Amino acid sequence: MNILYDERLDGPLPQVNKAEFLKALQQALPDLDILWREDELKPYECDGLSAYRTTPMLVALPRRLEQVQSLLKLCHQKNVPVVARGAGTGLSGGALPLEQGLLLVMARFNNILHIDPAARTARIQPGVRNLAISQAAAPFGLYYAPDPSSQIACSIGGNVAENAGGVHCLKYGLTVHNLLKIEVLTIEGERLTLGSDALDSAGFDLLALFTGSEGLLGIITEVTVKLLPKPQVAKVLLASFDSVEKAGSAVAEIIAAGIIPGGLEMMDNLAIRAAEDFIHAGYPVDAEAILLCELDGVEADVHDDCQRVREVMTAAGATEVRQARDEAERVRFWAGRKNAFPAIGRLSPDYYCMDGTIPRRELPGVLQSIARLSEEYGLRVANVFHAGDGNMHPLILFDANQPGELHRAEALGGKILELCVQVGGSITGEHGVGREKINQMCAQFNSDELSLFHAVKAAFDPQGLLNPGKNIPTLHRCAEFGAMHIHAGQLPFPELERF
C-alpha cells in the first residue's frame, strides 16, 4: 500500500554506486557483518507496516560502537543515506529502507548495562527489548512504564525514535517522560550525550527534541530510562455501553472526576466480537462499546477509585460494569485488548491501522464522523484505542485484491487523520509519522512550521542523509499534495459537519 506516496516529491536522493560503496565499506570495516545479496536483503524490506516495501541497498549489522561510528563517517563522506532500524516493529514505516541507502540494524546492541535500584534507573543498549527492561528490573520491585502492545519484540532504541506510548501512558506518560539520558552519534560520527543522570539538564532540551525524531537527527547508541515501583494492586473494570458515544462521554466524565486510571481503553462492537472470537476474553459481544478501566496503586486507594469509576460509568449510561474477579480474569480482559489488532486481522484480508490523537471532549463527535466516513467509503472501520489519552486507532478493513479498495482505504485513513487535526488534535499519538503519514503532516503544519522543522533537521544533518523522506515532508510535497495546513476549527471538508 503506497499508492498515494510519490517519492519524487521528496526531492532527488543522492545516486549511490552500490558495488563501489560496498567495497569501500568492506575495506574500512573488514569485521562488520554486511548483507548485500538479494535473498539476504529480503527480510529487511519492510517494518511492522508491511504494506510498504522497499529493498535496501545494503544492510549493516554492527556489534560495536566504533563500527557504527566509522560506518556513519563513511556514509557522510560518500553521501550515502542511512536508515536506522531496531526490531522492525514500527507501524508507520519509519524504518522503511531506501533502495539507494544503507539500513543500519542496531539489534545486536542488546545488553542491559546497569540497573540502579536506588536511583531507579536502567542504562541499556538500544537493541534491548522493551519488556526485557521490566524483567531485569523486576527483582527490585521496579518496572519500565511505557508498554507498547509490541513490547515483547520492540526495542528501546525504536521506542525512543518513535516516542512510543502504550496502554499505561495516560498515567505514566510517553517514552519522553520516562527518559533521563541518551547517547547518540551524529551523521558525522560524533558522540553526544543528551540529558543527564539528574532530573534536569542545562541548555536546549535536545533529549526531548531527539525523542520521536524518527531517525532524522542521529543514531541512538545508549539509553538511560527511569524505572517506577510496581503498583501494589491493579484492578480492572469492564463496562458495556449501547453506543460508542456514551462510552466516549464516560471517558470524559472519569477524567473530569479527577481520577487518573492506569489505563482506559475503548473497543467498539466490531473489535469486541473479533477479540472475543480470537481470545475468549469474556467480553459482552452484544455491546456497542466497552471500556476497560484499570486502577492501580495502594489497596485502599484502588478500592475507592473502583467505586467512583463504577458510579461515573453507570451515570454515563453503562448497561453493565464488571470488575475482574481475580488476577487471571484481569489478565484475560487485557489479553483481548492487546490482541485486538491480530484479531481484527482475522476478519479481513487487509487492515490499515490509523493513530490520531484528539482532545478527549471530541471523542463522541469524532467517532460519529468516522462511522459516517466508513459508510461513505464503503469500508468497515473497527475502533480499539487508548480512550483516556484521546489516542484513537481506527482500523480500516479492506481487501487489497479488490480493485480500488487499497486506494479507498488509504484515502479514508487520510480523511480520518485530517479530521483529527480539524478538532485540534494530531495525526499521530504513538506510532510516529514515518512514511505513512508524511502527506498528512501538510495538514498538521503550516509552511513556516515545516520550514522550522527543516532548519532544525539541517542543524543536525545538513546533507539530509538520515532517514530522508520520513517524518517531515518537503514544502514541494505539501504544495503537490494540495490539502495544505488545516487550522483547528476550519472546515476544509464540506462533507463533514461540525459536531
Site for a copy of itself in 149-208 (CB under 8 A): 163, 165, 173-174, 176-177, 186, 190-193, 196-206, 208
Where b means 16+ CB within 10 Å and e means fewer, 425-444 reads bbbbbbbbbbbbbbbbbbbb
Choose which of 21, 241, 460, 481 interacts with a copy of itself (CB under 8 A).
460
118 belongs to the binding site for a copy of itself (CB under 8 A): yes
Q: How far is the CB of 160 from a copy of itself (least distance, A)?
A: 12
Site for a copy of itself in 333-352 (CB under 8 A): none
Choose which of 155, 383, 471, 474 interacts with a copy of itself (CB under 8 A).
471
328 belongs to the binding site for a copy of itself (CB under 8 A): no
Q: Which residues pair with 466 in a beta bridge?
A: 82
Choose which of 265, 350, 389, 405 interacts with a copy of itself (CB under 8 A).
389
Residue (of 115, 111, 105, 103) closest to 129 by Cα position: 111
Nearer to a copy of itself, 144 or 377 (CB): 144
Nearer to a copy of itself, 177 or 322 (CB): 177
Choose which of 20, 33, 66, 304 interacts with a copy of itself (CB under 8 A).
304
Question: 294 with 169: CB under 8 angstroms?
Answer: no
What is the spatial distance between Cα 217 and Cα 211, in angstroms, rounded to a whole number? Answer: 10
Q: How far is the CB of 217 from a copy of itself (least distance, A)?
A: 8
Choose which of 97, 212, 336, 413 interacts with a copy of itself (CB under 8 A).
212
Question: Strand pairing of 58-61 and 102-105?
Answer: parallel
Choose which of 233, 459, 475, 491 interacts with a copy of itself (CB under 8 A).
459
Q: How far is the CB of 118 from a copy of itself (least distance, A)?
A: 5
139 belongs to the binding site for a copy of itself (CB under 8 A): no
444 belongs to the binding site for a copy of itself (CB under 8 A): yes
311 belongs to the binding site for a copy of itself (CB under 8 A): no
70 belongs to the binding site for a copy of itself (CB under 8 A): no
307 belongs to the binding site for a copy of itself (CB under 8 A): no
Question: 187 with 72: CB under 8 angstroms?
Answer: yes
Nearer to a copy of itself, 235 or 457 (CB): 457
Cell numbers found for residue 470: 520520513
Rg (CA), the chain: 23
Q: How far is the CB of 347 from a copy of itself (least distance, A)?
A: 28
Site for a copy of itself in 254-293 (CB under 8 A): 255-256, 258
- The size of the interface with a copy of itself (CB under 8 A), counted in residues, is 79
Q: How far is the CB of 285 from a copy of itself (least distance, A)?
A: 31
What is the spatial distance between Cα 393 and Cα 20, in angstroms, rounded to a whole number? Answer: 44
Question: 184 with 460: CB under 8 angstroms?
Answer: no
Nearer to a copy of itself, 163 or 269 (CB): 163
Nearer to a copy of itself, 304 or 311 (CB): 304
Site for a copy of itself in 13-32 (CB under 8 A): none
Choose which of 59, 252, 306, 406 interacts with a copy of itself (CB under 8 A).
252
Cell numbers found for residue 324: 475482574
Cell numbers found for residue 43: 527480510
Choose which of 119, 347, 371, 400 interacts with a copy of itself (CB under 8 A).
119
